[in-house]
Chains A and B, each alone.
Chain A
């Protein structure tokens, strides 16, 4: 680069010197001044261009290039005007014309959003959508938990308290009946605990807290009717994200058992520097789709909240490959 610049400079100077020598030999008016002027113009424009190229692409580069062009061309016109006998002051028109063109271009650019701005706008759209999804999912989840607690554990605890109250009244008059009522109260209380356990499992599976994502998937695999091979190491994800990926993996495995008619499933954990991925691959019949209202659509929504995505590859005839990608 540097040598190319020096070569161009040397060639320019040589051209000027040769033409000056030529004029010295032939005589006449000093025409090489036009050669020197053209060389100076080329040098000045190159300088402006190189300066502009150093600025990151965008409106600021355009402003530097166009401002530089004006700053070079107007003095050039002035010199030409001086050298051609100072007639009518035409450089005013060329300078005004160029200024208007530059002004128009700058105005047009200021109205058009930059690529950066476009990307930001799209990001804001995505975030707004995923925030609504998050709030929506959370509200649905809370409503379901509320209903489960209301119909299950709460109803059973109320019934337990009632039975104990009845037993208190029976103790003196009919101890045998009191004993029967108490037994019933105990079994109702146990059923309430059973209900609570079910609700807790849906909120955050205890085994996930104990063993991490990989361990929890292993525990899931033990219960499954299809042999599961688990590869890769446990991705260290924050708990809410880990739970979302766990429920996603559980959904995929349920689908495999229900629909895929597969004889083998692989769950593969992958760790990249800024992302983690879990892949569920089965050798079943394929043809899975992410339809509205489907389990996979639910997984996609749930992961989108964390900037995660679900990629599905399931040609008819199989195999099916579901890839869940999330940031770490």
Chain B
């Protein structure tokens, strides 16, 4: 699997590259700068790009903007954004095109190596992986406009985990319930929120996120 890495801190970049190579990824480019990053992504068409939000030369949200630009040329180009902080507004912008293949995680999640690597693979397969912090904030702030109160506490938990991009089996493992119970909860959630049921994990995440993003599906 071909990867492009953009991270300005040498220590973190080398760590990421080492970690990915050890897991059998082929790192085709590891850059420290946001200059021409979007072009590089379009040219290389990696199976996944792992980008830091904040990059030189502007040290603002260069990485995020490069990702959005590259994805406007190649819709659905898988991108995993890493950041020292997560902003709900950035998550919304990233998932807004509804194309999937988006990851948005706090940098320190990398320390959970196995979870991180499987997240990277999931995004490369067109999945969506969002940081729990940002999903919790999205659910919290949408509670006032959306009929989320209709959900039971357990269903709320399941909704948050779905929005993070977890499969039914993974949700079951987190909540220590059977996959069958999870399936029942998700069916309830979809009917309570009037969402079209989808068997496909990726499309299910996108439906949930589009819903949380305040768009009709």
Contact = CB atoms under 8 A, between A and B. Distances in A.
Q: Do A and B come from one complex?
A: yes
A149 interface: no
Nearest to A187: B111
A225 B141 contact: yes
B33 interface: no
Sorting the interface of chain A by its residue count into under 10, 10 to 19, 20 to 34 or 35 or more gives: 20 to 34
Contacts of B87: 206-207, 219
A226 B84 CA distance: 27
B141 A222 contact: yes
B141 A189 contact: no
A201 B89 contact: no
Contacts of B107: 193
A210 interface: yes
B99 to A, nearest CB: 21
A224 B60 contact: no
Interface string B78-99: 0000001101110010000000
A269 to B, nearest CB: 17
B88 A219 contact: yes
Contacts of B84: 197, 200, 206
Contacts of A194: 108
B74 interface: no
A242 B54 CA distance: 20
Nearest to A205: B85
Contacts of B177: none
11 contacts: A186-B112, A190-B111, A193-B108, A197-B85, A210-B53, A210-B61, A211-B60, A222-B89, A222-B141, A223-B140, A225-B144
Interface of B: 53-54, 59-61, 84-85, 87-89, 92, 107-108, 111-112, 137, 140-141, 144-145
Closest 7 CB pairs of A and B: A210-B61, A210-B60, A219-B89, A193-B108, A190-B108, A222-B88, A222-B89
